[in-house]
Every structure is written in structure tokens, then in C-alpha cells.
Homo-oligomer: A and B are copies of this chain.
Amino acid sequence: MNYIGIDIGGTNLKAGLVDEMGNLLATKKIKVSQISDNDSLVWTLVSLIQDLCQATDVPIGQIASVGVGVPGTVEIHSGAILYTCNLPLQNVPLRKLFHRYLPMPLLIENDANCAALAEYHVGAGRESKRFITITLGTGIGGGIIHNGKIYHGANGMAGEVGHMSIEMGGEPCPCGRRGCWERYASATALKRLTSRVLAEHPDSILRTVVDENAGHVSGQSAFIAARRGDPVGQSICHTYIAYLADGIANLINLFQPDTLAIGGGVSNEEDKSLLLPLRREVERLTIPCSEDKRTKIVKVELGNQAGIIGAALLGKKKRV
């Protein structure tokens, strides 16, 4: 059997057809701006599925299930999208609407959970039974896999790792509380920290790095400056890694996964700048245990395809 995964992104709605082994055989995409109402969303899904089947010569009867990954709030039991920032729609009973056209099971899931599931099956977590991914982006997304299943909690909202406070009464967060981890350790937080320190050091190598990037501060700026020997850049990297490590240490003391994988643009920094110092700091902060029992901290492996693959594998019962 084959599986179809659909990832509702900010610009594109991407769809892919995956085989039993989790291999992505074909992909199609369409601009999300073309979707204006419930009907156009469902028709888009149906036509993407037909296109993928044609492109791969897979009969539509060979599609075991369709999975949809959504950034936002979903109701997994009823298969509804309650809210997503990427579509001008709310409370879409997607499964019900979809079954007017096609009969196979349709599953809906949060996109961060889809990415975690993909990494669990065919990426960084494939040796693990208990696995966590954290994605360093605008916020910090989390996906928790426990014995092969996404950990949803009682209400489907578990795994909001970015809204774990690490600094009581600290920086205000749009979620309503203060000190949330993502205010310190997301990619956005790194940029904010870099800009703040940059303003205090107008003669630094960091300033040159930013000027070379047309004046834009990116998540890479401090790492580039640090590699050129800039103490200002090094200090920013050190601070950022300390924040990142503090939240990861909390997750490990609570969940003790076999493996924790970090993703998002920041995670592409070379190991000696990010992963190695991060591991040392996390080891210092977590409850001691022998090396063979310690959580392995690694990078995600699937990149941008994780969302589609994970959505597709929502319908798969056994491990790939």
C-alpha cells in the first residue's frame, strides 16, 4: 500500500505519495492563496491525490490513507481543522467533507507532530522508542513520540515545549505568560539577542558580518562572527546555547527520551559551534546517568520533507 501526506504551509500546500518504506515517490504543490473556502480546500486535496496517483501509476485504490499536517489547532478524533494561520478558514470538518469524494481514511495532525513522526519512522529517531523533536523557528515547536505514538495528552494539546517557562516572571510571551522558553531559544529569539548585543558593539566583527548581509541580522550572524574570532559573536552563541540547553535539560529530566533531535534553520550550524557545546551543557544540567542511558542529542535528518512524510505515515500502524 501507499500513503499520501499533505502539508499546509504558509505559501504552498504540498502533497506527497509515500511507499511502505517511507520513501517519497512523488510530490505536488499548489499555492495556498488559491484556497478561499471549505469547498476549494477539499477539491484541492482530491485533485492533488489524483495527480500524485497518475504521476506514480499507483491506482487510487492502493492509497491506504491520507494524512494532513496543519500548523495550528486540530481535532484529531473528528478530523477537523479548528484554526490555522495559513488558511482563511476556521472549524473545517475536513474528514466529513473529504468523504463526499473519496473513501479512504483521512487523518489530521499538528504539523510539528507530523515532522516528529517522520523523523521517528525514517529519520533521526528511527532507533528510538521514545523520541522528541524540537524545531527552532519563530517559536519552538515540539513533537513527542512515545512507543511509536504521538503523545497528545488528554486534550490533544500536549508537547507545547516552547511555552515551558524557564525564567519565572521573565520576558512576556504572546501566550499570556512570562519567561517561555521560546522567548529565549527560538530562532527569532536568537535574532533578537543578536540585534540587542549588536547595538552595544558598533565596532565588532559582528557589525561587519551584518553589513555584508545588507544590514540584516539573521540566525547565522552571531555564529559567523564567532567563527571569525569575534568575542561579541562568541558571547551571543554562548548565551543562546545556555538558554537552549536549559529547556532541553528540563525535557530530559521529565521525559528521558532515547533521542532528542533539534531542527529548524539554527540546527544547520556546524557541530562544533552548536551541537557539541550544547551536549556538554545539557549533560552538566541533567540528572547524572551512565553514558549508555543518556539521551542522545542529534539533528533532524529529513529537512523540509518531514512534514509531508510524517503526514503520510499518520495512517501507518507498524514501524517503517
Contacts and interface: CB of A to CB of B under 8 A. Distances in A.
Interface of A: 128-130, 146, 151-161, 163-168, 175-177, 242-243, 246, 249-251, 253-258, 284-289, 293-295
A174 to B, nearest CB: 11
Given A154-B129, A295-B154, A164 B254 contact: yes
A241 to B, nearest CB: 13
B168 A246 contact: yes
A78 to B, nearest CB: 14
Contact of A255 (B153, B242, B257): B153
Contacts of A129: 154
Nearest to A293: B155
A204 B257 CA distance: 49
B249 A293 contact: no
How many copies are assembled?
2
A293 B246 CA distance: 29
SS class, residues of chain A in contact with chain B: loop
Given A146-B146, A293-B154, A164 B256 contact: no
Nearest to A178: B285
A83 to B, nearest CB: 12
Given A154-B258, A164-B250, 9 more contacts: A154-B293, A155-B293, A155-B294, A157-B287, A161-B254, A165-B166, A165-B285, A175-B287, A177-B284
Contact of A159 (B154, B246, B254, B284): B254
Given A154-B258, A166-B166, A176 B250 contact: no
Best-surrounded residue of A161, A177, A254, A255 (most CB of chain B within 10 A): A254
Nearest to A158: B256
Contacts of A168: 166-167, 242-243, 246
